[in-house]
Structure 1
Protein backbone atom coordinates (compact mmCIF):
# COMPACT_ATOMS: atom_id res chain seq x y z
CA UNK A 1 0.00 0.00 0.00
CA UNK A 2 2.35 2.66 -1.28
CA UNK A 3 1.51 6.25 -0.34
CA UNK A 4 0.59 8.36 -3.37
CA UNK A 5 0.43 12.13 -3.82
CA UNK A 6 -2.66 12.90 -5.91
CA UNK A 7 -2.59 16.08 -7.99
CA UNK A 8 -6.03 17.64 -7.82
CA UNK A 9 -4.93 21.11 -8.93
CA UNK A 10 -6.57 20.78 -12.35
CA UNK A 11 -9.96 20.33 -10.67
CA UNK A 12 -9.54 23.74 -9.03
CA UNK A 13 -9.02 25.67 -12.27
CA UNK A 14 -11.38 28.66 -12.41
CA UNK A 15 -13.02 27.68 -9.12
CA UNK A 16 -12.13 28.12 -5.44
CA UNK A 17 -13.34 24.61 -4.56
CA UNK A 18 -14.45 21.52 -6.46
CA UNK A 19 -17.35 19.18 -5.81
CA UNK A 20 -17.68 15.72 -7.36
CA UNK A 21 -20.36 13.06 -6.99
CA UNK A 22 -18.48 9.78 -7.38
CA UNK A 23 -20.47 6.63 -8.10
CA UNK A 24 -18.48 3.49 -8.96
CA UNK A 25 -18.55 -0.26 -8.18
CA UNK A 26 -15.98 0.52 -5.44
CA UNK A 27 -13.95 3.44 -4.13
CA UNK A 28 -10.39 4.18 -5.25
CA UNK A 29 -8.18 1.60 -3.54
CA UNK A 30 -5.20 3.93 -3.09
CA UNK A 31 -3.56 5.09 0.13
CA UNK A 32 -3.03 8.75 -0.79
CA UNK A 33 -2.76 12.37 0.27
CA UNK A 34 -3.07 15.82 -1.33
CA UNK A 35 -2.54 19.47 -0.33
CA UNK A 36 -6.27 20.20 -0.46
CA UNK A 37 -8.68 19.67 2.43
CA UNK A 38 -11.44 17.19 1.63
CA UNK A 39 -15.03 17.02 2.89
CA UNK A 40 -16.63 13.64 2.19
CA UNK A 41 -20.27 12.57 2.45
CA UNK A 42 -20.71 8.83 1.91
CA UNK A 43 -24.03 8.08 0.21
CA UNK A 44 -23.69 4.37 -0.56
CA UNK A 45 -21.45 1.44 0.44
CA UNK A 46 -19.58 0.26 3.52
CA UNK A 47 -16.09 -0.88 4.42
CA UNK A 48 -13.00 0.21 6.31
CA UNK A 49 -11.81 3.81 6.50
CA UNK A 50 -8.09 4.53 6.99
CA UNK A 51 -7.20 8.10 8.03
CA UNK A 52 -3.67 8.53 9.32
CA UNK A 53 -3.30 5.78 11.89
CA UNK A 54 -7.06 5.56 12.52
CA UNK A 55 -8.96 2.50 11.29
CA UNK A 56 -12.75 2.42 11.54
CA UNK A 57 -15.78 1.03 9.80
CA UNK A 58 -17.63 3.45 7.53
CA UNK A 59 -21.22 3.44 6.36
CA UNK A 60 -23.83 5.63 4.66
CA UNK A 61 -24.52 9.28 5.59
CA UNK A 62 -21.11 9.63 7.21
CA UNK A 63 -19.41 13.03 7.03
CA UNK A 64 -15.62 13.24 7.27
CA UNK A 65 -13.30 16.26 7.00
CA UNK A 66 -9.68 15.50 6.08
CA UNK A 67 -6.86 18.01 6.46
CA UNK A 68 -4.18 18.80 3.92
CA UNK A 69 -1.54 16.10 3.33
CA UNK A 70 -3.22 13.65 5.72
CA UNK A 71 -3.00 10.12 4.22
CA UNK A 72 -6.35 8.38 3.80
CA UNK A 73 -8.23 5.64 1.99
CA UNK A 74 -11.76 4.25 1.89
CA UNK A 75 -11.57 0.47 1.37
CA UNK A 76 -14.85 -1.21 0.48
CA UNK A 77 -15.82 -4.60 1.89
CA UNK A 78 -14.66 -7.56 -0.19
CA UNK A 79 -18.19 -8.09 -1.58
CA UNK A 80 -17.71 -4.92 -3.67
CA UNK A 81 -14.78 -6.48 -5.53
CA UNK A 82 -16.48 -9.75 -6.46
CA UNK A 83 -16.82 -10.35 -10.19
CA UNK A 84 -20.63 -10.36 -10.38
CA UNK A 85 -21.23 -7.75 -7.70
CA UNK A 86 -23.96 -5.21 -8.43
CA UNK A 87 -23.08 -3.10 -5.41
CA UNK A 88 -22.18 0.56 -5.88
CA UNK A 89 -20.06 2.98 -3.87
CA UNK A 90 -21.14 6.61 -3.95
CA UNK A 91 -19.83 9.70 -2.20
CA UNK A 92 -19.79 13.45 -2.64
CA UNK A 93 -16.29 14.88 -2.21
CA UNK A 94 -15.45 18.57 -1.90
CA UNK A 95 -11.81 19.63 -2.29
CA UNK A 96 -10.51 23.06 -1.35
CA UNK A 97 -7.34 24.82 -0.26
CA UNK A 98 -7.12 26.20 3.26
CA UNK A 99 -6.76 29.71 1.82
CA UNK A 100 -9.43 29.31 -0.89
CA UNK A 101 -11.09 32.56 0.31
CA UNK A 102 -7.79 34.46 0.46
CA UNK A 103 -4.74 34.51 2.71
CA UNK A 104 -6.30 36.58 5.50
CA UNK A 105 -10.05 35.92 5.22
CA UNK A 106 -10.18 33.28 7.97
CA UNK A 107 -8.14 35.49 10.32
CA UNK A 108 -11.22 37.64 10.91
CA UNK A 109 -12.76 37.21 14.39
CA UNK A 110 -16.03 36.12 12.78
CA UNK A 111 -14.21 33.17 11.19
CA UNK A 112 -12.69 31.81 14.41
CA UNK A 113 -14.96 28.76 14.50
CA UNK A 114 -14.18 27.77 10.91
CA UNK A 115 -10.47 28.36 11.48
CA UNK A 116 -10.62 25.95 14.43
CA UNK A 117 -12.44 23.48 12.18
CA UNK A 118 -9.53 23.63 9.74
CA UNK A 119 -7.07 23.15 12.61
CA UNK A 120 -8.94 20.02 13.72
CA UNK A 121 -9.00 18.74 10.14
CA UNK A 122 -5.27 17.97 10.32
CA UNK A 123 -6.24 14.91 12.40
CA UNK A 124 -9.31 14.01 10.35
CA UNK A 125 -12.76 14.70 11.84
CA UNK A 126 -15.80 12.43 11.91
CA UNK A 127 -19.08 14.19 12.68
CA UNK A 128 -22.03 12.41 14.24
CA UNK A 129 -25.41 13.25 15.75
CA UNK A 130 -28.09 15.09 13.76
CA UNK A 131 -26.45 16.01 10.47
CA UNK A 132 -29.61 16.10 8.35
CA UNK A 133 -29.30 19.81 7.47
CA UNK A 134 -25.62 19.49 6.52
CA UNK A 135 -26.34 16.43 4.38
CA UNK A 136 -29.21 18.23 2.65
CA UNK A 137 -27.03 21.24 1.82
CA UNK A 138 -24.10 19.15 0.56
CA UNK A 139 -26.43 17.26 -1.79
CA UNK A 140 -27.79 20.54 -3.17
CA UNK A 141 -24.38 22.18 -3.51
CA UNK A 142 -23.38 20.56 -6.80
CA UNK A 143 -26.45 22.04 -8.52
CA UNK A 144 -25.60 25.62 -7.51
CA UNK A 145 -23.36 28.02 -9.37
CA UNK A 146 -21.28 31.12 -8.75
CA UNK A 147 -22.09 33.27 -5.73
CA UNK A 148 -24.93 31.03 -4.48
CA UNK A 149 -22.62 28.00 -4.54
CA UNK A 150 -19.91 29.80 -2.58
CA UNK A 151 -22.31 31.18 0.04
CA UNK A 152 -23.87 27.75 0.48
CA UNK A 153 -20.42 26.19 1.01
CA UNK A 154 -19.62 28.76 3.69
CA UNK A 155 -22.89 27.86 5.42
CA UNK A 156 -21.92 24.17 5.37
CA UNK A 157 -18.52 24.96 6.90
CA UNK A 158 -20.16 27.13 9.53
CA UNK A 159 -22.64 24.38 10.46
CA UNK A 160 -19.79 21.88 10.88
CA UNK A 161 -17.64 24.41 12.76
CA UNK A 162 -20.41 24.86 15.32
CA UNK A 163 -21.44 21.20 15.47
CA UNK A 164 -20.60 19.89 18.93
CA UNK A 165 -20.61 16.15 18.21
CA UNK A 166 -17.41 15.09 16.51
CA UNK A 167 -14.35 12.89 16.93
CA UNK A 168 -10.74 13.56 15.96
CA UNK A 169 -9.44 10.47 14.18
CA UNK A 170 -5.67 10.31 13.68
CA UNK A 171 -3.24 10.57 16.56
CA UNK A 172 -1.12 13.65 17.22
CA UNK A 173 1.99 11.49 17.00
CA UNK A 174 1.13 10.35 13.49
CA UNK A 175 0.26 13.82 12.25
CA UNK A 176 3.33 15.47 13.76
CA UNK A 177 5.68 12.79 12.47
CA UNK A 178 4.22 12.95 8.99
CA UNK A 179 4.69 16.71 8.93
CA UNK A 180 8.29 16.44 10.09
CA UNK A 181 9.43 13.57 7.93
CA UNK A 182 7.34 13.77 4.76
CA UNK A 183 7.43 10.32 3.16
CA UNK A 184 10.58 9.08 4.86
CA UNK A 185 11.63 7.63 8.22
CA UNK A 186 8.62 7.47 10.56
CA UNK A 187 6.11 8.17 7.78
CA UNK A 188 7.36 5.03 6.02
CA UNK A 189 7.07 3.15 9.29
CA UNK A 190 3.40 4.14 9.58
CA UNK A 191 2.80 3.01 6.00
CA UNK A 192 4.44 -0.33 6.77
CA UNK A 193 2.36 -0.83 9.91
CA UNK A 194 -0.92 -0.10 8.13
CA UNK A 195 -0.01 -2.51 5.35
CA UNK A 196 1.30 -5.32 7.57
CA UNK A 197 -0.42 -5.04 10.98
CA UNK A 198 -2.20 -8.38 10.40
CA UNK A 199 1.20 -10.10 10.22
CA UNK A 200 4.07 -10.44 12.66
CA UNK A 201 6.03 -7.17 12.89
CA UNK A 202 9.19 -6.91 14.98
CA UNK A 203 10.96 -3.89 16.39
CA UNK A 204 13.91 -4.73 14.16
CA UNK A 205 11.66 -4.66 11.07
CA UNK A 206 10.47 -1.11 11.64
CA UNK A 207 13.83 0.14 12.92
CA UNK A 208 15.41 -0.99 9.65
CA UNK A 209 12.76 0.91 7.68
CA UNK A 210 13.54 4.05 9.70
CA UNK A 211 17.30 3.46 9.18
CA UNK A 212 17.94 3.36 12.93
CA UNK A 213 19.13 0.79 15.40
CA UNK A 214 16.29 -0.65 17.55
CA UNK A 215 17.29 1.25 20.69
CA UNK A 216 17.39 4.63 18.96
CA UNK A 217 14.16 3.91 17.10
CA UNK A 218 12.35 2.98 20.33
CA UNK A 219 13.49 6.20 21.98
CA UNK A 220 12.42 8.40 19.03
CA UNK A 221 9.11 6.59 18.51
CA UNK A 222 8.11 6.91 22.16
CA UNK A 223 9.07 10.59 22.28
CA UNK A 224 6.96 11.37 19.20
CA UNK A 225 3.96 9.14 19.94
CA UNK A 226 4.04 9.13 23.75
CA UNK A 227 3.73 5.36 23.67
CA UNK A 228 6.00 2.46 22.81
CA UNK A 229 6.04 0.87 19.38
CA UNK A 230 4.35 -2.29 20.70
CA UNK A 231 1.59 -0.23 22.36
CA UNK A 232 1.06 1.67 19.12
CA UNK A 233 0.92 -1.51 17.03
CA UNK A 234 -1.55 -3.11 19.45
CA UNK A 235 -3.82 -0.06 19.24
CA UNK A 236 -3.87 -0.26 15.44
CA UNK A 237 -4.74 -3.95 15.63
CA UNK A 238 -7.45 -3.36 18.20
CA UNK A 239 -8.94 -0.60 16.04
CA UNK A 240 -9.27 -3.10 13.22
CA UNK A 241 -10.66 -5.73 15.58
CA UNK A 242 -13.37 -3.26 16.66
CA UNK A 243 -14.35 -2.81 13.03
CA UNK A 244 -14.65 -6.59 12.57
CA UNK A 245 -16.67 -6.98 15.77
CA UNK A 246 -19.15 -4.33 14.59
CA UNK A 247 -19.58 -6.16 11.29
CA UNK A 248 -20.64 -9.30 13.19
CA UNK A 249 -19.26 -11.56 10.44
CA UNK A 250 -16.63 -13.40 12.49
CA UNK A 251 -16.41 -14.89 15.95
CA UNK A 252 -13.99 -13.50 18.52
CA UNK A 253 -11.35 -16.20 17.95
CA UNK A 254 -11.31 -15.53 14.21
CA UNK A 255 -11.05 -11.78 14.80
CA UNK A 256 -8.14 -12.30 17.18
CA UNK A 257 -5.98 -13.89 14.48
CA UNK A 258 -7.36 -11.77 11.63
CA UNK A 259 -6.22 -8.65 13.54
CA UNK A 260 -2.64 -9.83 13.96
CA UNK A 261 -2.68 -11.39 17.44
CA UNK A 262 -1.35 -14.91 17.92
CA UNK A 263 -3.27 -15.96 21.04
CA UNK A 264 -6.66 -15.24 22.57
CA UNK A 265 -5.47 -14.31 26.05
CA UNK A 266 -3.18 -11.55 24.78
CA UNK A 267 -5.90 -10.32 22.42
CA UNK A 268 -8.42 -10.09 25.26
CA UNK A 269 -5.90 -8.33 27.50
CA UNK A 270 -4.93 -5.75 24.89
CA UNK A 271 -8.55 -5.20 23.87
CA UNK A 272 -9.54 -4.43 27.45
CA UNK A 273 -6.54 -2.15 27.90
CA UNK A 274 -7.36 -0.14 24.77
CA UNK A 275 -11.17 0.07 24.88
CA UNK A 276 -11.99 -0.58 28.56
CA UNK A 277 -14.25 -3.39 27.33
CA UNK A 278 -13.75 -7.06 26.77
CA UNK A 279 -14.60 -8.10 23.18
CA UNK A 280 -17.91 -9.55 24.40
CA UNK A 281 -18.75 -6.39 26.35
CA UNK A 282 -17.81 -4.29 23.30
CA UNK A 283 -20.29 -6.20 21.14
CA UNK A 284 -23.05 -5.73 23.70
CA UNK A 285 -22.27 -2.02 24.00
CA UNK A 286 -22.35 -1.66 20.22
CA UNK A 287 -25.72 -3.43 20.03
CA UNK A 288 -27.07 -1.03 22.68
CA UNK A 289 -25.91 1.88 20.54
CA UNK A 290 -23.42 3.01 23.16
Structure 2
Protein backbone atom coordinates (compact mmCIF):
# COMPACT_ATOMS: atom_id res chain seq x y z
CA UNK A 1 0.00 0.00 0.00
CA UNK A 2 1.44 3.36 -1.03
CA UNK A 3 0.58 5.99 1.60
CA UNK A 4 -0.29 9.40 0.23
CA UNK A 5 -2.46 12.45 0.36
CA UNK A 6 -5.86 10.80 -0.08
CA UNK A 7 -8.51 12.18 -2.42
CA UNK A 8 -11.67 10.99 -0.69
CA UNK A 9 -13.91 13.62 -2.26
CA UNK A 10 -14.07 12.16 -5.78
CA UNK A 11 -17.18 13.51 -7.49
CA UNK A 12 -18.95 14.51 -4.30
CA UNK A 13 -16.97 17.56 -3.34
CA UNK A 14 -20.10 19.65 -2.82
CA UNK A 15 -22.00 17.37 -0.50
CA UNK A 16 -21.55 14.71 2.16
CA UNK A 17 -20.25 11.19 1.62
CA UNK A 18 -21.08 8.31 3.93
CA UNK A 19 -18.83 5.28 4.18
CA UNK A 20 -19.90 2.11 5.95
CA UNK A 21 -16.98 -0.02 7.09
CA UNK A 22 -17.53 -3.73 7.72
CA UNK A 23 -14.27 -5.65 7.37
CA UNK A 24 -11.77 -7.70 9.31
CA UNK A 25 -9.35 -4.90 10.13
CA UNK A 26 -8.67 -1.22 9.55
CA UNK A 27 -6.19 -0.80 6.71
CA UNK A 28 -6.10 2.94 6.07
CA UNK A 29 -2.58 4.42 6.06
CA UNK A 30 -1.41 7.57 7.81
CA UNK A 31 -2.88 10.30 5.63
CA UNK A 32 -4.64 13.64 5.36
CA UNK A 33 -7.22 15.14 3.01
CA UNK A 34 -9.18 18.34 2.41
CA UNK A 35 -12.47 17.23 3.96
CA UNK A 36 -13.86 17.14 7.46
CA UNK A 37 -14.21 13.58 8.70
CA UNK A 38 -16.60 12.30 11.36
CA UNK A 39 -15.82 8.78 12.60
CA UNK A 40 -18.07 6.59 14.73
CA UNK A 41 -16.58 3.28 15.84
CA UNK A 42 -19.37 0.79 16.39
CA UNK A 43 -17.08 -2.21 16.86
CA UNK A 44 -13.27 -2.19 16.94
CA UNK A 45 -10.33 -1.13 19.07
CA UNK A 46 -6.70 -0.22 18.58
CA UNK A 47 -4.37 2.74 18.28
CA UNK A 48 -5.24 6.18 16.95
CA UNK A 49 -2.82 8.95 15.99
CA UNK A 50 -4.42 12.33 15.23
CA UNK A 51 -1.97 15.17 14.69
CA UNK A 52 0.44 14.89 17.61
CA UNK A 53 -1.99 12.92 19.79
CA UNK A 54 -1.13 9.26 20.40
CA UNK A 55 -3.86 7.20 22.03
CA UNK A 56 -6.29 4.30 21.98
CA UNK A 57 -9.69 3.99 20.36
CA UNK A 58 -12.49 1.63 21.27
CA UNK A 59 -16.08 0.77 20.41
CA UNK A 60 -18.32 3.79 20.82
CA UNK A 61 -15.71 6.44 20.02
CA UNK A 62 -16.94 9.48 18.10
CA UNK A 63 -14.29 11.76 16.60
CA UNK A 64 -14.47 14.77 14.30
CA UNK A 65 -11.30 15.67 12.37
CA UNK A 66 -10.83 18.84 10.36
CA UNK A 67 -9.32 19.33 6.89
CA UNK A 68 -5.66 18.33 6.38
CA UNK A 69 -5.32 16.91 9.89
CA UNK A 70 -3.02 13.86 9.55
CA UNK A 71 -4.35 10.68 11.15
CA UNK A 72 -4.17 6.91 11.26
CA UNK A 73 -6.40 4.32 12.95
CA UNK A 74 -4.97 0.80 13.30
CA UNK A 75 -6.31 -2.24 15.13
CA UNK A 76 -4.38 -3.79 17.99
CA UNK A 77 -2.91 -7.16 17.15
CA UNK A 78 -5.23 -8.76 19.71
CA UNK A 79 -8.28 -7.55 17.77
CA UNK A 80 -7.08 -9.18 14.56
CA UNK A 81 -6.30 -12.42 16.39
CA UNK A 82 -9.77 -12.74 17.95
CA UNK A 83 -11.96 -15.15 16.03
CA UNK A 84 -14.73 -13.66 13.86
CA UNK A 85 -13.86 -10.10 14.86
CA UNK A 86 -14.89 -7.46 12.34
CA UNK A 87 -14.54 -3.71 12.25
CA UNK A 88 -17.84 -1.89 12.06
CA UNK A 89 -17.75 1.86 11.65
CA UNK A 90 -19.50 4.78 9.98
CA UNK A 91 -17.50 7.62 8.46
CA UNK A 92 -18.92 10.85 7.06
CA UNK A 93 -16.81 13.10 4.84
CA UNK A 94 -17.92 16.62 4.06
CA UNK A 95 -16.26 19.79 2.72
CA UNK A 96 -15.96 22.50 5.40
CA UNK A 97 -17.79 25.04 3.24
CA UNK A 98 -20.77 22.73 2.63
CA UNK A 99 -22.42 23.88 5.83
CA UNK A 100 -21.36 27.50 5.52
CA UNK A 101 -22.96 27.80 2.07
CA UNK A 102 -26.41 26.84 3.37
CA UNK A 103 -27.18 30.25 4.85
CA UNK A 104 -25.93 33.81 5.22
CA UNK A 105 -27.34 34.32 8.69
CA UNK A 106 -24.44 35.01 11.04
CA UNK A 107 -26.14 33.57 14.12
CA UNK A 108 -26.47 30.24 12.29
CA UNK A 109 -23.01 30.29 10.71
CA UNK A 110 -21.06 31.18 13.87
CA UNK A 111 -21.49 27.87 15.77
CA UNK A 112 -20.62 25.90 12.63
CA UNK A 113 -17.57 28.06 11.92
CA UNK A 114 -16.35 27.51 15.46
CA UNK A 115 -16.92 23.74 15.19
CA UNK A 116 -14.83 23.56 12.00
CA UNK A 117 -12.09 25.61 13.63
CA UNK A 118 -12.05 23.37 16.70
CA UNK A 119 -11.97 20.25 14.53
CA UNK A 120 -8.52 21.30 13.30
CA UNK A 121 -7.23 19.67 16.49
CA UNK A 122 -9.49 16.64 16.31
CA UNK A 123 -12.41 16.40 18.75
CA UNK A 124 -13.45 13.38 20.80
CA UNK A 125 -17.10 13.59 21.87
CA UNK A 126 -18.60 11.77 24.82
CA UNK A 127 -21.69 11.59 27.05
CA UNK A 128 -25.18 12.27 25.76
CA UNK A 129 -23.74 13.98 22.67
CA UNK A 130 -22.15 10.74 21.58
CA UNK A 131 -25.34 8.79 22.22
CA UNK A 132 -27.49 11.20 20.23
CA UNK A 133 -25.12 11.34 17.26
CA UNK A 134 -24.62 7.56 17.24
CA UNK A 135 -28.40 7.13 17.04
CA UNK A 136 -28.56 9.49 14.06
CA UNK A 137 -25.66 7.73 12.34
CA UNK A 138 -27.53 4.46 12.67
CA UNK A 139 -30.40 6.05 10.74
CA UNK A 140 -28.48 8.06 8.19
CA UNK A 141 -26.65 5.14 6.60
CA UNK A 142 -29.86 3.57 5.32
CA UNK A 143 -31.37 6.76 3.91
CA UNK A 144 -31.31 7.64 0.22
CA UNK A 145 -33.70 10.59 0.27
CA UNK A 146 -33.43 14.17 1.50
CA UNK A 147 -33.70 12.76 5.02
CA UNK A 148 -30.01 11.93 4.78
CA UNK A 149 -29.19 15.64 4.65
CA UNK A 150 -31.72 16.40 7.38
CA UNK A 151 -30.19 13.83 9.72
CA UNK A 152 -26.73 15.18 8.93
CA UNK A 153 -27.72 18.76 9.71
CA UNK A 154 -29.27 17.60 12.96
CA UNK A 155 -26.10 15.84 14.09
CA UNK A 156 -23.99 18.88 13.15
CA UNK A 157 -26.30 21.01 15.29
CA UNK A 158 -25.78 18.62 18.21
CA UNK A 159 -21.98 18.66 17.78
CA UNK A 160 -21.74 22.43 17.35
CA UNK A 161 -23.73 23.13 20.53
CA UNK A 162 -22.15 20.42 22.69
CA UNK A 163 -19.77 20.98 25.61
CA UNK A 164 -19.13 17.23 25.97
CA UNK A 165 -15.83 16.94 24.16
CA UNK A 166 -12.08 17.01 24.51
CA UNK A 167 -9.36 17.93 22.04
CA UNK A 168 -6.94 15.36 20.69
CA UNK A 169 -4.05 17.30 19.10
CA UNK A 170 -2.30 19.94 21.18
CA UNK A 171 -3.15 23.63 20.89
CA UNK A 172 0.19 24.38 19.24
CA UNK A 173 0.00 21.52 16.74
CA UNK A 174 0.67 22.39 13.12
CA UNK A 175 1.10 19.80 10.39
CA UNK A 176 4.45 19.73 8.62
CA UNK A 177 3.72 16.81 6.30
CA UNK A 178 3.70 16.44 2.56
CA UNK A 179 3.05 13.30 0.46
CA UNK A 180 6.61 12.04 0.76
CA UNK A 181 6.59 12.54 4.52
CA UNK A 182 3.35 10.62 5.07
CA UNK A 183 4.79 7.67 3.19
CA UNK A 184 7.81 7.48 5.45
CA UNK A 185 5.99 8.24 8.67
CA UNK A 186 3.25 5.76 7.80
CA UNK A 187 5.81 2.96 7.62
CA UNK A 188 7.19 3.99 11.00
CA UNK A 189 3.78 4.32 12.67
CA UNK A 190 2.46 1.02 11.36
CA UNK A 191 5.64 -0.78 12.43
CA UNK A 192 5.55 0.72 15.93
CA UNK A 193 1.85 0.03 16.46
CA UNK A 194 2.46 -3.63 15.71
CA UNK A 195 5.78 -3.99 17.53
CA UNK A 196 5.87 -1.53 20.47
CA UNK A 197 5.53 -4.45 22.91
CA UNK A 198 9.10 -5.60 22.20
CA UNK A 199 12.56 -4.06 22.17
CA UNK A 200 13.04 -1.80 19.16
CA UNK A 201 16.50 -0.52 18.39
CA UNK A 202 17.14 2.84 16.80
CA UNK A 203 19.00 1.10 13.97
CA UNK A 204 15.98 -1.08 13.24
CA UNK A 205 13.53 1.79 13.01
CA UNK A 206 15.95 3.97 11.01
CA UNK A 207 16.38 1.17 8.46
CA UNK A 208 12.67 1.36 7.69
CA UNK A 209 13.24 4.87 6.33
CA UNK A 210 16.61 3.96 4.81
CA UNK A 211 18.33 6.49 7.05
CA UNK A 212 21.17 6.51 9.51
CA UNK A 213 20.05 6.63 13.15
CA UNK A 214 21.13 10.27 13.56
CA UNK A 215 19.43 11.34 10.34
CA UNK A 216 16.25 9.50 11.32
CA UNK A 217 16.14 11.14 14.76
CA UNK A 218 16.45 14.59 13.22
CA UNK A 219 13.86 13.82 10.54
CA UNK A 220 11.35 12.28 12.95
CA UNK A 221 11.51 15.17 15.38
CA UNK A 222 11.29 17.78 12.62
CA UNK A 223 8.01 16.24 11.42
CA UNK A 224 6.35 15.07 14.64
CA UNK A 225 7.79 17.66 17.08
CA UNK A 226 8.66 14.71 19.32
CA UNK A 227 11.76 12.61 19.76
CA UNK A 228 11.46 8.99 18.71
CA UNK A 229 11.83 7.90 22.34
CA UNK A 230 9.08 10.29 23.48
CA UNK A 231 6.70 9.03 20.81
CA UNK A 232 7.41 5.38 21.60
CA UNK A 233 6.87 6.00 25.31
CA UNK A 234 3.53 7.71 24.65
CA UNK A 235 2.43 4.75 22.52
CA UNK A 236 3.49 2.24 25.18
CA UNK A 237 2.07 4.14 28.14
CA UNK A 238 -1.20 4.68 26.29
CA UNK A 239 -1.48 0.92 25.92
CA UNK A 240 -0.54 0.48 29.57
CA UNK A 241 -3.38 2.79 30.61
CA UNK A 242 -5.76 0.56 28.67
CA UNK A 243 -4.44 -2.65 30.25
CA UNK A 244 -4.70 -1.16 33.74
CA UNK A 245 -8.48 -1.07 33.36
CA UNK A 246 -8.44 -4.84 33.87
CA UNK A 247 -7.78 -5.67 37.52
CA UNK A 248 -6.50 -9.10 36.56
CA UNK A 249 -3.46 -7.52 34.89
CA UNK A 250 -0.75 -6.95 37.49
CA UNK A 251 1.39 -3.83 37.22
CA UNK A 252 4.38 -6.03 36.43
CA UNK A 253 2.48 -7.83 33.67
CA UNK A 254 1.42 -4.50 32.18
CA UNK A 255 5.01 -3.28 32.30
CA UNK A 256 6.33 -6.21 30.25
CA UNK A 257 3.33 -6.30 27.92
CA UNK A 258 4.09 -2.73 26.84
CA UNK A 259 7.74 -3.31 25.96
CA UNK A 260 9.47 -2.32 29.20
CA UNK A 261 11.95 -4.65 30.89
CA UNK A 262 12.32 -2.72 34.12
CA UNK A 263 9.42 -2.01 36.51
CA UNK A 264 11.06 1.03 38.10
CA UNK A 265 11.69 2.59 34.70
CA UNK A 266 8.11 1.83 33.63
CA UNK A 267 6.78 3.54 36.76
CA UNK A 268 8.99 6.55 36.08
CA UNK A 269 7.84 6.94 32.47
CA UNK A 270 4.19 6.39 33.39
CA UNK A 271 4.37 9.03 36.10
CA UNK A 272 6.09 11.42 33.71
CA UNK A 273 3.16 11.20 31.29
CA UNK A 274 0.19 10.88 33.68
CA UNK A 275 1.63 12.61 36.77
CA UNK A 276 0.68 9.64 38.96
CA UNK A 277 1.96 6.10 39.42
CA UNK A 278 0.28 3.18 37.59
CA UNK A 279 -1.19 1.88 40.86
CA UNK A 280 -2.85 5.24 41.60
CA UNK A 281 -4.06 5.50 38.02
CA UNK A 282 -5.79 2.15 38.40
CA UNK A 283 -7.36 3.16 41.73
CA UNK A 284 -8.78 6.29 40.11
CA UNK A 285 -10.21 4.24 37.24
CA UNK A 286 -11.88 1.81 39.62
CA UNK A 287 -13.26 4.67 41.72
CA UNK A 288 -14.83 6.26 38.65
CA UNK A 289 -16.25 2.92 37.45
CA UNK A 290 -17.89 2.16 40.79
CA UNK A 291 -19.59 5.55 40.97
CA UNK A 292 -21.13 5.29 37.50
Q: CA deviation at 1:95?
A: 1.0
For normalisation by structure 1, the TM-score amounts to 0.77
Task: For residue 126 of structure 1, give the secondary structure of its aligned residue in structure 2.
Answer: strand
1:17-28 equivalence runs, <5 A? 17-28=16-27
Q: Does 1:181 align with 2:181?
A: no
Please give the alpha-carbon distance, in whole angstroms, between the structure 2 residues aligned to 1:39 and 1:120: 13
CA distance in structure 2 between the aligned counterparts of 1:121 and 1:160, rounded to whole angstroms: 11
- Secondary structure of the corresponding residue to residue 200 of structure 2: coil
Q: Measured at CA, do residues 117 and 95 of structure 1 come closer, stay the same or move farther in structure 2, by a change above 3 Å?
A: same
8 A contact 2:44–2:75 mirrored in 1? no
Name the CA distance, whole Å, in 1 between partners of 2:184 and 2:210.
Answer: 7
| Residues 69-126 of structure 1: CA deviation (Å, up to 9, x unaligned) | 32221415524345xx223321111111112246696893422222222222222211
Q: 1:190 to 1:144 in 2, by over 3 A?
A: closer
CA drift of 1:275 comes to 0.7
* Structure 1 partner of 2:12: 12
Identify the residue that residue 255 of structure 2 maps to in structure 1: 256
CA distance, structure 2, for counterparts of residue 119 and residue 287 of structure 1: 35
Give distance in 1, aligned partners of 2:145 and 2:248: 47
Tell me, in whole angstroms, the C-alpha distance in 2 between the residues paired with 1:37 and 1:20. 13
* Aligned: 1:43 with 2:42: yes
Residue 191 of structure 2: which of 161, 184, 195 is its match? Answer: 195
- Matches of residues 147-162 of structure 1 in structure 2 within 5 Å? 147-162=146-161
d(CA) in 2 for partners of 1:186 and 1:277?
A: 34
* Root mean square deviation of aligned Cα: 3.9
Give yes or no for the alignment of 1:89 onto 2:87. Answer: yes
Superposed displacement of residue 262, structure 1: 3.6
Find 1:125's aligned residue among 123, 126, 144: 123
Change (3 A) 1:194 1:169: farther
Q: Does 1:169 align with 2:165?
A: no
Is the 8 Å Cα contact of residues 32 and 73 (structure 1) preserved in structure 2? no
Is the contact made by 2:45 and 2:59 (CA closer than 8 Å) also made in structure 1?
A: yes
In the alignment, what sits opposite 1:114? 112
* Runs of 5+ consecutive residues of structure 2 not aligned to the other structure: none
Output the CA distance in 2 between the equivalents of 1:39 and 1:75.
Answer: 18
SS in 2 for 1:22: strand
Could you tell me how far 1:214 is from its partner in structure 2? 5.3
What SS class does the counterpart of residue 28 from structure 1 fall into?
A: coil
Change (3 A) 1:140 1:97: same
Match of 1:241 in 2: 240
Distance in 2 of aligned mates of 1:63 and 1:46: 13
- Counting matched residue pairs gives 283
Q: Any unmatched runs of 5+ in structure 1?
A: none
* Mapped contact 1:3–1:71 kept (Cα < 8 A): no
Instruction: Tell me, in whole angstroms, the C-alpha distance in 2 between the residues paired with 1:180 and 1:103.
Output: 29
| Contact 1:48 1:243 (8 Å CA) reproduced | no
Could you give the per-residue CA deviations for residues 178-209 of structure 1, whole angstroms, max 9, x where no partner exists?
Answer: x3332456994686366335543549976x96
Q: Deviations over 1:258-283 (max 9, x none)?
A: 43434211110111121122112212
Q: Is the 8 A contact 2:54 2:234 kept in 1?
A: no
Task: Supply the distance in 1 between the matched residues of 2:108 and 2:61 (Cα, whole angstroms).
Answer: 28
